[in-house]
Structure 1
Amino acid sequence: MEAVYRREFEAALRMFAQASGKMVALGFEAPVLVGGAAVELYTTSRIATGDFDVSTGRQEVFEQALRDLGFVKPSGPGMATKGWIHPDLMLGFEVVSSTLLDGMADRDRVYLIDLGDDGDARIISVEDMIADRMGQFASGSAPDMLGQASVLWSLHKNADRAYLARRISEETFGDYTIADLERHPL
């Protein structure tokens, strides 16, 4: 990794790659990192996350790989999480879907990061991540997501504009466009 990330984030990304490698070694498709962790990766920690959301069709295999790496499922008062936490990282991992953006994202655009001895990590494309944030914003349930999408766009102007425009239209039911990203103040 060339960019500089928070220590905890980089350690968690390396553990994600290790868990992915365990799945691939068993003959399963590698999981894909989505959500806030993908945003943090694409913004080089300008926007930080507290969890790693994962898309995989084999949740039980991924969770076993996490357990093998020392992750635990928190329990007790105040611990209402569906995810897993590594005691050294304090960043949660959670499987949030079995298909990448409900099948709307192009799996051929998934970005692969080589983390050396820790293996590879697969990350949703920046275009799909921007579109996802725009969709969450458009739903009315997450007004801050327009800001995240705008920061992502400002850092990745070399993104595939035609694909991004189509994906934003799909995620927002035609209500928003790339122009809305460009009008939003950073």
Structure 2
Amino acid sequence: MTAQDFEPPILVGGGAVELYSNSAVTTGDFDLVTARQESLEHIFRSLGFVRPSGPGIATRGWMHPDLKLGFEIVSSTLLDGLADRDRILLVDLGADGIAAIIAVEDMIADRMGQFASGSAPEMREQARRLLTLHSDADRAYLDRRIREETAGEYGIEDL
């Protein structure tokens, strides 16, 4: 994507949690955010990724048949525009470009938002684990983001 002068897609969701937890929490696929979905899908195709199809297949993502890796583009906007894009972690991969990963504070806040929705009670424990592993997190920013993601129902003290 950077070779085309586009921002790199941002890793979010379980893949980011796995990275930030040093694989203490594992995932089965990788969720990405990009405003350039068509361009990223073209890159996926050129690298041999396919969209699984057929009876019993319910995925919106891309799979690599040999690598057994799955990617899904989940949004065109990072956390509905609430995340501070200056906090995105950029990892230089040399000739392979740049990997962009959602900030750990935003990942914790997102997990708390899912917990607060009532649909994913296990997300609170993931948020707690991430905060324990990242005691250097910006606590003021994190508290604000948790409150935004939970409509004021929760804050950092609830971790």
Q: 2:138 aligns with which of 160, 173, 177?
A: 160
1:109-128 superposed matches below 5 A:
109-128=87-106
> Residues 86-117 of structure 1, C-alpha deviation per residue, up to 9 Å, x if partnerless?
11232310110000001010100000112333
What CA distance in whole angstroms lies between the structure 1 residues aligned with 2:133 and 2:84? 21
Which residue type is aligned with residue 126 of structure 2?
Answer: Q
Partner of residue 108, structure 2: 130
2:8/2:98 contact within 8 Å kept:
no
Pairing partner for 1:140 from 118, 121, 127: 118
Unaligned runs of 5+ in 1: 1-22, 182-186
The answer to whether the 8 Å contact 2:147/2:153 transfers is yes
Pairing 1:68–2:51 present:
no
2:16 to 32, 38, 43: 38
Task: After TM superposition, give the deviation of residue 25 of structure 1 in Å.
Answer: 1.2
How far apart are residue 70 of structure 1 and its match? 1.1
Report the CA distance between 1:27 and its aligned residue.
2.0
- The aligned counterpart of 2:127 is 149
1:101 aligns with 79
Provide the residue aligned with 2:4 in structure 1. 26
- Distance in 2, Cα, partners of 1:101 & 1:58: 16
Show CA shifts across 1:135-154 (max 9, x none): 00000011110011011011
Is 2:61 aligned against 1:83?
yes
| TM-score between both structures, scaled by the size of structure 1 | 0.83
**Any unmatched runs of 5+ in structure 2?**
none
**Rounded Cα–Cα distance in structure 1 between residues aligned with 2:42 and 2:133:** 35
How many equivalent residue pairs? 159
Q: Using the alignment, how far apart are the partners of 1:113 and 1:87 within structure 2?
A: 26
Paired AA for residue 157 in structure 1: S
Matched, 1:180 2:143: no
Q: CA deviation at 1:52?
A: 0.7
Tell me how far apart the structure 1 counterparts of residues 67 and 55 of structure 2 sit (CA, whole Å).
20
State whether residues 2 and 97 of structure 2, in contact with CA within 8 Å, keep that contact through their aligned partners in structure 1.
Answer: no
